[in-house]
Structure 1
Amino acid sequence: MSCAYMQSPGLVWCSTTCTSSYPGSTICMFFVQDQVFPGVIYLTYLCVLTCCMNRPKNTEMGTKVGHEFSWLSRYAPEFCVKGENIEILETPTDFYQKLKSEAKNAQKRIVLAALYLGNGGLEEDLVGSVIDAAKKTDNNVKVDILLDYVRGSRGENNSKTMLKPLIDQYNGSDKLTISLYHTPKLRGLLKKYLPARWNEVIGVAHLKVFIFDDTFIISGANLSNDYFVNRQDRYMVFHDCGQLADYFHQLVNTVGMFSFQLVSDTNQKLTYNGDHHPFEGDENAFKKGAQESVMALIKRHLAQNALTNVKLFQEGIISKTKLGLSNFFQYSTSFLTSISNAALSLLGFDKSIVENYESSQISTHEMTQNFISQTTSDKQNTNCKFDTWVYPTIQMGLFGIRQDEVVTETLMKTFPKGSTVSFTTGYFNVTDKYCYEVVNNAANYNILLSSPEANGFFGSKGFSGYIPAVYIHLCKKFSKKVALYNRKEDISLWEYIRDGWTFHGKGMFCYLPGEKLPSMSLIGSPNFGLRSVSRDLEAQVVVVTKNPKLQQRLHDEQNYLMKHTRKITSETFQQPRYNVPRWVAFVTFFIKRYF
């Protein structure tokens, strides 16, 4: 390590070149006399990250940094939880019953974010469970709902009409917020002439997040009958994880800020209170405002993580490598307020975060406790050894937010040789980047996708009935690429085929070399396709665990999904059900970005 110092009255600039943990990286720190600006801990952290954004090497993934995927904290907020608090559901019925029971017993908050709410009896009962919670608490339970504007408005009997009893229950109270996101790309002639269903291909809110007090559920499932009965998806429940629930609640509320609001009148009137209307105002201004709002949330939590890590480093719970510094120092008792706007802008750092943290003569202990205290319900105490780490990732390519895409691509790049990865998607339209990483990485892959019969569009009328053929064509192209790269022995394709069922599951399981149980899983809303990375609003989590029982539960889930599968071979592609009309193969090139 080499260090260079520049000093002016009361201010010292330290530039440190690391040669140990992060070779060649430069760390910059501001000192005020013998004090350090605590916010600069975050700025320093960002400097380290900026210098280390190159592909992480497997040699960095040792136990000295907590777990094999610790590099994820460079890209996403990190939440430490106990594996025993994570429940994995298997069936759509389990999912539905969990939603109802959690909703009925909620005391503080209920958050439902999905593409849409269906209009059948099961959905009506689910809304009834939310109403029951409202009645039990005299309408004091806070209810926030986020749906897609276009999908939620399809038909006369739609998501909006299904929510009218809930609106009536709250009778104008600010304890109920129903937001409907409208993509800024659907405007002008497209909005005027694209018919229902087809207008949804332009872009939707695709988040699948459900919160009940401090219980957080993430899935790829929507809130409608098929997803409660016979459409297989994945479902993960985090109990007593208040901070993680808070993060996703804030995400839902942030998206709600630039969405329409459903107000309590008989005409189901929608109002928009944002600065820039999504389809009547300036499109670029809308996207810029949305980007700033979501990025402020991400940065705020990255800052909290950095200060939490400082505290944990002080107590010897995490290493200096995990903290991102190779030499550390004593912390300050006050904030440096003279950081220039230019420096903050250069780092992409929101100055309001610094301003919000300012306080006079706050002690080191008090400063870190402000952030640590939010996690004590999850961690019990800071001396506890945690066995599971959760990293939320957000994808809103339309707004220039590609956090999930970067994390997913980096995971694919860095799976160690000899790993086995189960990769799952209901709609096989994987981006070129992801395909490239799969065939070029040394890991073995089992890729699970829908059979033509298990595709949600199978048997649809009109052009929609040919959408399964689009995915078949893309699957065949990928299979040829696997053969071209001589990877047929270690990349296998499997089709989910189950009479009367469709398949909608998505995510990953990673078995590290020599391990019989997975230690990492991705779960959430993205389908890993072109529209997921560029058109829709998506969110998922990366779950990394050393908890043997949770690892076994993940393994059991993976086996359950594979229970109704058959391996896809060259003979499979010769079967009549895998035939692709020539015109479908031709148009796929032009339309694949919309599916």
Structure 2
Amino acid sequence: MSGKFYSNLSENSDRNVIEIQHSGRIQDSSESAKKSIESTRSIHNIADDPYKAIEDAIKDKPRFMVDSDKIKIIYEPSDFYSKLKQAISEAKERVYLSTLYIGSSEKELIETISTALDNNESLKVTILEDCLRGTRPERGETGLTSSAAEISRLIEKHGADRVSIFLYHTPKLAGIKKRIYPERINETVGVQHIKAYICDSNVIMTGANLNKDYFTNRQDRYFQFEEAPQVADYLIELIDGISRFSYRLVLNQAHSDTFNANDRFSLVLNDKDCPDPVKRPRKFKKYAYQIMINFIEKWNKNTASTNIFTMENGSGVGVGVGVGAGIQRSQTDDYPMQKLQTRSESSKEYTGDYTFVVSTIQMAPLGIHQDQKYIQKLFRAIKEYSLQLAKHDKPSTICKTEVTSAYFNFARIHIDAILACKSTFNFLVASPQACGFFGAKGVSRHIPNTYSLFELEFLKHLSRVNRSDAVKIREYSRDGWSYHGKGLSASIYLSIYSFIRLSDIYFFVGVIYLIAGYFSSGRTMREIQGLKYFTTTTTTTSTNINIGK
């Protein structure tokens, strides 16, 4: 099916969903939703305050306020590709593309970038790729080529003053590992995995790489921020920071179109003072770590006045400190409302629907684990709140978490939290046939079955602790398609908090969370319902788990 499914899907397709409209009032879609609200009222003073739990998790992280109307969900790979090309073509000053790799056969995309440079002399382009994946040799039309070799043609045509290409190399692949690990296997050690595409002040955050499959039949999640200059500036500074300790691609002066196109260029450290990650990995880590810590501290300071949780109720009692923005309770409605208001330091009020964007960075090779710690705190909050609900005989569906991942390989700490808490969890993962490694050659062909084994073991564990009714796993299966989406949406106290993870906890990744507001409750549920259309529920006896095949 195509995007028509999404266009025909009502915003209230889940009859028990509480929809947030632009008026800020909660529109209940069924009597069961009303009863759920009523049963939750008494919980607010019973359970540990979720405001405090989440505020603690984000207190040391950059946060931005974005008009909810300027955040768009893209539903189909082809639409993602079209919007990306349009954004590049319309860019006036800057295009930043951070990705694992650009496909070596993506001539149309490379030509789109080239044409944009031709049409606008003021435009500059920066591309950040992973070094291992970006230089992996692939069979081309006239010999061996690579992602880096193909995009190097942009420098050849437009010059290094207008096109900058950087390749990050993990310090974990050094010494003997660098010498003995074969191609593809070496990428399992660690890669640059940030997928952020910025054109002027417009941003697309996704898990999709820039390759044909991701433009046609590999389903991912895509969020477009229109006219979000602060978010764009933040991501651009992040990419610039990583580029400082990455290799810069430099064309060889006496190159020719040899059989191996990688001979066209050389890689030199962008910062002359940066230790080489392969030759001096320990010193490299210290150097890169300091750059990133300086970046994080700068943006924490720049956005510290954006206080997300300023909650008001009928008696005028507020929760939260500082000037900024937050969830506001209605002065007239009986139910909590998720209308967001913002206040400047001069107390001038702006009314409207806003979504708060919180960023985390995960750079395990450098000792930076923001996203890991954030998720741990979030799961702890979910667990504690669900246990309070159970203690007072309240339904577990009040606290519901939607989790989606291309691969079922969740960390032990997350699995333990899910097994121990009493809330509802819905997982959406790729079926073996929808795994990107399905049908691969060599060792990679065993990856789908490995994830199936992890999944089967988890299902058995759920049964042992009597959690099978509250935790469900659905597998994405769509003929001819693969699944690559990642995300987490947690509902605590009437869906006040919604978190959308736009990338996975990997080796080197940036994550954007969307918190509260009209956007993150209504349209996100519509997207999730659309994804579930192509899924089936998995059990311990399900034929979708193809063990041994």
CA distance in 2 between counterparts of 1:185 and 1:170 reads 34
Q: Does the aligned pair in 2 maintain the 1:423–1:507 contact within 8 Å?
A: yes
Task: Assess, with a 3 A threshold, how the Cα gap between structure 1 residues 381 and 542 changes in structure 2: closer, same or farther.
Answer: farther
Q: CA deviation at 1:397?
A: 1.2
User: Would you say 1:298 and 2:296 are equivalent positions?
Assistant: yes
Give the equivalent residue in structure 2 for 1:176: 163
CA distance in 2 between counterparts of 1:109 and 1:431 reads 37
Q: Please, which of 76, 94, 108 is the counterpart of residue 91 of structure 1?
A: 76
Q: Which amino acid aligns with 1:482?
A: L
Pairing of 1:118-197 with structure 2 (within 5 A): 118-120=103-105, 123-138=106-121, 140-155=122-137, 156-173=144-161, 175-197=162-184
Q: Does the aligned pair in 1 maintain the 2:54–2:381 contact within 8 Å?
A: no
Pairing of 1:22-421 with structure 2 (within 5 A): 59-62=48-51, 69-120=54-105, 123-138=106-121, 140-155=122-137, 156-173=144-161, 175-265=162-252, 266=255, 267-274=264-271, 275-307=273-305, 321-323=320-322, 383-385=349-351, 387-415=354-382, 416-417=385-386, 418-421=398-401
Task: Assess, with a 3 A threshold, how the Cα gap between structure 1 residues 159 and 225 changes in structure 2: closer, same or farther.
Answer: same
Helix, strand or coil at the partner of 2:541: helix
Give the equivalent residue in structure 1 for 2:422: 442
CA distance in 2 between counterparts of 1:557 and 1:431 reads 25
User: Would you say 1:521 and 2:499 are equivalent positions?
Assistant: yes
Q: Which amino acid aligns with 1:166?
A: L
Give the equivalent residue in structure 1 for 2:5: none
Helix, strand or coil at the partner of 1:570: coil
Question: When the two structures are superposed, what TM-score results if normalisation uses the length of structure 2?
Answer: 0.77
Count residues with an aligned counterpart.
449
CA distance in 1 between counterparts of 2:380 and 2:426 reads 16
Q: Deviations over 1:272-325 (max 9, x none)?
A: 133344344322111111111111111111112225669x99xxx99673339x
Q: Does the aligned pair in 2 maintain the 1:188–1:279 contact within 8 Å?
A: no
Task: Assess, with a 3 A threshold, how the Cα gap between structure 1 residues 208 and 99 changes in structure 2: closer, same or farther.
Answer: same
Q: CA deviation at 1:576?
A: 8.1
Q: Does the aligned pair in 2 maintain the 1:182–1:278 contact within 8 Å?
A: no
CA distance in 2 between counterparts of 1:203 and 1:381 reads 47
Q: Does the aligned pair in 2 maintain the 1:83–1:545 contact within 8 Å?
A: no
CA distance in 2 between counterparts of 1:305 and 1:567 reads 42
Q: Deviations over 1:255-280 (max 9, x none)?
A: 11110001234422211133344344
Task: Assess, with a 3 A threshold, how the Cα gap between structure 1 residues 379 and 483 changes in structure 2: closer, same or farther.
Answer: farther
CA distance in 1 between counterparts of 2:303 and 2:482 reads 40
Q: Which amino acid aligns with 2:215?
A: F
CA distance in 1 between counterparts of 2:208 and 2:379 reads 24
Helix, strand or coil at the partner of 2:428: strand
CA distance in 1 between counterparts of 2:72 and 2:130 reads 28
Q: Does the aligned pair in 2 maintain the 1:148–1:205 contact within 8 Å?
A: yes
Task: Assess, with a 3 A threshold, how the Cα gap between structure 1 residues 280 and 205 changes in structure 2: closer, same or farther.
Answer: closer
CA distance in 1 between counterparts of 2:157 and 2:291 reads 31
CA distance in 2 between counterparts of 1:525 and 1:546 reads 21
Higher RCO (Cα < 8 Å, 6 or more apart): 2
Q: CA deviation at 1:580?
A: 3.8
Give the equivalent residue in structure 1 for 2:530: 560
Q: CA deviation at 1:411?
A: 1.2
Task: Assess, with a 3 A threshold, how the Cα gap between structure 1 residues 428 and 263 changes in structure 2: closer, same or farther.
Answer: same
CA distance in 2 between counterparts of 1:389 and 1:443 reads 25
Q: Does the aligned pair in 2 maintain the 1:88–1:237 contact within 8 Å?
A: yes
Helix, strand or coil at the partner of 1:500: coil
Q: Please, which of 504, 511, 516 is the counterpart of residue 545 of structure 1?
A: 516
Q: Deviations over 1:534-586 (max 9, x none)?
A: xx101111101221x553211110011111000001220xx3852148xxxxx
CA RMSD of aligned residues (A): 2.7
Q: Which range moved further: 459-468 or 407-416? A: 407-416
Q: Deviations over 1:92-120 (max 9, x none)?
A: 10111111000000001101011011022
Helix, strand or coil at the partner of 2:526: helix
Task: Assess, with a 3 A threshold, how the Cα gap between structure 1 residues 185 and 440 changes in structure 2: closer, same or farther.
Answer: same
CA distance in 2 between counterparts of 1:73 and 1:476 reads 34
Which runs of 5 or more residues in structure 2 are unaligned?
A: 1-45, 138-143, 256-263, 324-341, 387-397
Q: CA deviation at 1:380?
A: 13
CA distance in 2 between counterparts of 1:438 and 1:577 reads 21
Task: Assess, with a 3 A threshold, how the Cα gap between structure 1 residues 381 and 133 changes in structure 2: closer, same or farther.
Answer: farther
Q: CA deviation at 1:379?
A: 12
Q: Does the aligned pair in 2 maintain the 1:472–1:580 contact within 8 Å?
A: no
Helix, strand or coil at the partner of 2:227: coil
Task: Assess, with a 3 A threshold, how the Cα gap between structure 1 residues 576 and 104 changes in structure 2: closer, same or farther.
Answer: closer
Q: Which amino acid aligns with 2:374?
A: V
CA distance in 1 between counterparts of 2:380 and 2:520 reads 25
Q: CA deviation at 1:381?
A: 9.8
CA distance in 1 between counterparts of 2:189 and 2:520 reads 38
Q: CA deviation at 1:435?
A: 0.8
Q: Which range moved further: 126-135 or 555-564? A: 126-135
